[in-house]
Amino acid sequence: MLRYLSGRYRVHLGCFADDSIDRRQEGFVRQFCNSVFFARGCTPAAKGPGPAGLFGFNRPLRPGRDAGLSIWVERIWSERRPTRVLALCAAMAPYALMRPDLPARRVLDRSDIDGNPWGGESATEQWRPAQGIWRWLRTRELRAMLLLDQHRLASWDASLLNSAPAVAKLQRLLPEVAGRIHHVPDGIDTVRFSPNDGRHPPPLPFGGRSILMAGALDGPADVDAARWFAVEVLPRIRAAAPDCRLILATRDLGIGFPPPTACPGVTLATGVRDMRPWLAHAAVVVAPFSLPNPRPVLEAMAMGRPVVATPGALGAFREQVEQDLWLAAEPADIAQAVLAALYPPLGTAVGRAARARVQAYHSWEAGLARLDAVLEGRALPCVERARPMTMG
């Protein structure tokens, strides 16, 4: 982002740098900025439960200010008179609003907010009984949140969210500020995640075709998805293609939930720090998740891999990418989709189309172009809605 913005603006960056990793990157960051201020010490809390949200929607709390950063920002406002101001989280919002008397286009990126209180009930809420008292409380909470959002957004020329459904819902609920709420999705580095050109040697020595589960096994939801696929889907695939193996990658064995390595045809790869070699040599990538986990799906698509996903895995990205992957929910349909993707002409063609879609709509370049349009007050292009390729 800094590299992109520095080619179009004179950038003055104020931020917090509290750990050793941040401090090692300071020299790299400075090359893209006209001036930089790194605030030390404790970063103000940007979000949390409690009085801001009765149901724990993690609404941002009112952050404190760092004295040194406040002085630096005041000097930038007075001496440089910036015309474009971008706050990348709620903790930085007070600094962007310090001089309301000076004309500037102020933009708040709200993508650091956890959850999606405007896009419908989350998976953790769906179990709750639909009783009158619960609906009344939830409606009351939503109204309070909307009033708070409308008040907060009134000070900003634009507000950004990385979820298209959340943007659409919030625009409907807050018509007074709907024109200032925009969708700027998280981007994929399509240079780093590009089709294999010989840079990545095969990570495993065995022959046959590999079916790679998207992303690393990082928690119980990933392990549950892998176990379900290994028990319910993989035997159907191996009955028609016995050379296929399911590859599960994990950074370490300390995830606390044993993966299904006892199932026939399952291989566990540990110590994986880079998924690209595994993606490069996967015949098919599967995403059998019940909860949204779109990023590893987009990374696989960026590398030109054919992907088979369950509807729940794509989250807010479903309407945008479902044309260029297989979408299936039942075990038999998923197995049929994987077998179709294993057929080289079809799988290769779908992989090429998947990469083209990520480059066009989900790359860093595409996302930053939308950010540039918001900063300049230009109209944003509409993201093309894909027609689904479903099984079953």
Tell me what pLDDT residue 296 has: 95
Contact 313, 297 (CB under 8 A): yes
Of 246, 241, 271, 252, the C-alpha closest to 340 is 241
Cα–Cα separations (whole angstroms), residue 116 to 25, 88, 143, 223: 31, 18, 15, 24
- Name the residue type at position 21: I
Q: 46: which 2 tokens?
A: 């940007």
Tell me what pLDDT residue 111 has: 74
* Confidence (pTM): 0.71
- Residue extents of the structural domains in the chain: 44-183, 210-364
- Count of other CB atoms within 10 angstroms of residue 132: 7
Tell me what pLDDT residue 120 has: 46
Class of domain 210-364: alpha beta
HSE, CB side, 13 Å, CA atoms: give it for residue 126.
Answer: 5
Contact 194, 364 (CB under 8 A): no
Tens place of pLDDT per residue across the chain (392 aa)? 888 899 999 999 998 876 665 667 788 889 999 999 998 765 554 444 333 333 334 444 445 688 999 999 999 999 999 999 999 988 888 899 999 999 999 999 887 654 444 444 443 344 344 455 555 555 555 555 555 555 566 788 998 888 777 788 878 878 888 888 898 887 899 999 999 777 888 888 777 899 999 988 888 888 899 999 999 999 999 999 999 999 999 887 665 566 787 889 999 988 888 999 999 999 999 999 998 889 999 999 999 999 999 999 988 788 778 889 999 999 999 999 999 999 989 999 999 999 999 998 889 888 888 899 999 998 776 555 444 455 54
Q: CA–CA separation, 216 vs 78, rounded Å?
A: 48
Tell me what pLDDT residue 277 has: 93
Q: CA–CA separation, 94 vs 286, rounded Å?
A: 43
Number of residues that this document lists for the chain: 392
Tell me what pLDDT residue 315 has: 82
Tell me what pLDDT residue 154 has: 72
